[in-house]
Amino acid sequence: MADAPSDPLTRLVHHLSRLPGIGSRSATRLAYHIVRDGSIASDLAEALVLVDEQVGRCSLCCDISASDPCKLCLDPRRDSSLICVVERTQDLRALERTGEFRGRYHVLEGALSPLDGIGPEELRISELLARIENDVEEVILATNATVSGDATALYLSRLLKPLGLKVSRIARGVSVGAELEYTDSSTLLRALEERREI
């Protein structure tokens, strides 16, 4: 913290601007809002202390959780033979919002990106392999539709298929409500390739 300013308000702006997506102007606006409403400062401080003290990673699925194992891993109604692999906790939350997936999850905490120095050792792949030794039958690769996400899915597929598992990838294509006229050609191509009979 030696590089943090000593003035409390400037220090708050400095730390807020370190958050992803928050530039110095947004950080300044947030800081002044916090100062104007004193209850926000104390509530925010308490929430930050609680997160620091009580939130960590689930030892099974690597999700961010206040309990270990997390609630999803402890839920006996979930199908333990089916694991959905995602890059980040936010991806897990998005899939959970659908209310349809009843298997278990595994969070990699990123995607392969050699140019950024992220190789297999930096991801939670060894933890995934340890889980597969049990009763897992299928692994769904739900990595993002990016170069890194595709590379990660391909790497995991090559790692998992020799173990006798069914390995699948989530489908991609045209978004609901999107007009074909405004859809990029690679998305249209993927939608055509992954079409299914109705």
Could you write out the three-class secondary structure of the chain? CCCCCCCHHHHHHHHHCCCCCCCHHHHHHHHHHHHHCHHHHHHHHHHHHHHHHHCEECCCCCCEECCCCCHHHHCCCCEEEEEEEECCHHHHHHHHHHCCCCEEEEECCCCCEHHHCECHHHCCHHHHHHHHCCCCCEEEECCCCCHHHHHHHHHHHHHHHHHCCEEEECCCCCCCCCCHHHCCHHHHHHHHHCCCCC
Packed helices 24-36 and 38-54: angle between N→C axes, nearest 10 degrees: 110
Residue predicted with more confidence, 102 or 181:
102
32 against 190, higher pLDDT: 32
- The pLDDT assigned to 121 comes to 94
pLDDT at 90 over 90: yes
* All domains of the chain in start order, with CATH: 8-54 (1.10.8.420), 64-169 (3.40.1360.10)
pLDDT grade, residue 5 (50/70/90)?
low
Report the percent of the chain where pLDDT is more than 70.
95
Mean pLDDT, the chain, as a whole number?
89
Q: What is the pLDDT of residues 132-175, one digit of tens each?
A: 877 899 999 999 888 899 999 999 999 999 999 999 998 887 77
Token digits of residue 64: 């961010």
Whether pLDDT at 83 is above 90: yes
Strand order in 166-169's β-sheet?
Answer: 103-107, 79-86, 138-141, 166-169
